[in-house]
A and B are shown apart, each in its own frame.
Chain A
Amino acid sequence: MAETLGNRLLALRTERDLTQAALAELVGVSRKTINTVENGVFVPSTLLALKLARALGRPVEDLFFLDG
């Protein structure tokens, strides 16, 4: 069975009133990267996942989960 990586990035980002560009600036990546992770087009590296979690002040497990 193929498992994919789901995420709650959009929900947690909007909860904190952050735009994609603002979160991109906090993490130090492009807006495109935030967009692709949110849409599930791109599976981020562990490093990026941890940086996103730190920027949103949540544990990484709150952001990402196994789907399917």
Chain B
Amino acid sequence: MTSSDIDTADRLTRKRARMLPFLALIFVTQQISYFVEADARVRMVDHVKVGAWLLLSVVLLLALATGGFWFRPKTVRALMDDEVTRANRAEAFRIGFLATMIAGIGLYFLDQFAPMRGRETIHILVTIGIATALIVFGALERRALRDG
């Protein structure tokens, strides 16, 4: 491990902390069009939209779980995934899980007034879980990087 690795990890960690809330925002705003344009008819474009959401969900979940930057050297990635990062990630997953459970309970209650399809429910729960974890992880990482 060299000082250059430390500098690179530091730079990329800052970049990741800045990027995460924006990724969450993009992820959530992408869902708005899905629900606003909800229609009983299934068109080709809907399959593309669901495919895009699914792909983005998997990529964001993997980035959250592993720290991302998969094509960087192993030493840099290890530095970006040290004790503090792992603790921040665990906290982000904890809050994300709680948010998903609360949303699940809320949706279960709402379902008696406005029934929803299973697919829509899963879509909302996955979106809430991933977006919450991204925001919390980003906020904790930014706090950890703050000097003084």
Using a CB–CB cutoff of 8 Å, the interface residues on chain A facing chain B are 21-22, 24-25, 28-33, 35-36, 39, 41-42, 44-45, 48
Chain A residues whose CB sits within 8 angstroms of the CB of B82 once the complex forms: 29-30, 32-33
Report whether B83 and A45 are in contact in the complex, using a CB–CB cutoff of 8 Å: yes
Residue in A28, A29, A32 with the greatest tally of chain B CB atoms within 10 Å: A32
Contacts of B148 in A (CB 8 A): 39
B6 & A21 in contact (Cβ 8 Å cutoff):
yes
Interface centre among B7, B79, B141, B143 (most CB of A within 10 A): B79
The dominant DSSP class at the B interface is helix
Q: Indicate if B33 sits at the interface (CB-CB under 8 A).
A: no
Chain B residues with CB below 8 A from A48, complex form: 83
Residues in B neighbouring A21, C-beta threshold 8 A:
3, 6-7, 10
Q: CA separation between A48 and B85, bound complex, in Å?
A: 14
Contacts of A28 in B (CB 8 A): 1
- Asked whether, in the complex, the Cβ of B147 is within 8 Å of the Cβ of A35, the reply is yes
| Bound Cα distance from A5 to B37, whole angstroms | 53
Chain B residues at the A interface, C-beta cutoff of 8 Å: 1-3, 6-7, 9-10, 13, 79-80, 82-85, 87, 141, 143-148
Task: Tell me, in angstroms, the Cα distance from A48 to B148 when the chains sit together.
Answer: 21
With a cutoff of 8 Å between Cβ atoms, the chain B residues found around residue A44 in the complex are 83
**30 A-B residue pairs with CB within 8 Å:** A21-B6, A21-B7, A25-B1, A25-B2, A25-B6, A28-B1, A29-B79, A29-B82, A30-B10, A30-B13, A30-B79, A30-B82, A30-B84, A31-B6, A32-B10, A32-B84, A32-B85, A32-B144, A32-B145, A33-B82, A33-B83, A33-B84, A35-B144, A35-B145, A35-B146, A39-B148, A41-B143, A42-B84, A42-B87, A45-B83
Given contacts A28-B1, A42-B87, A48-B83, contact A36 B6 (CB under 8 A): no
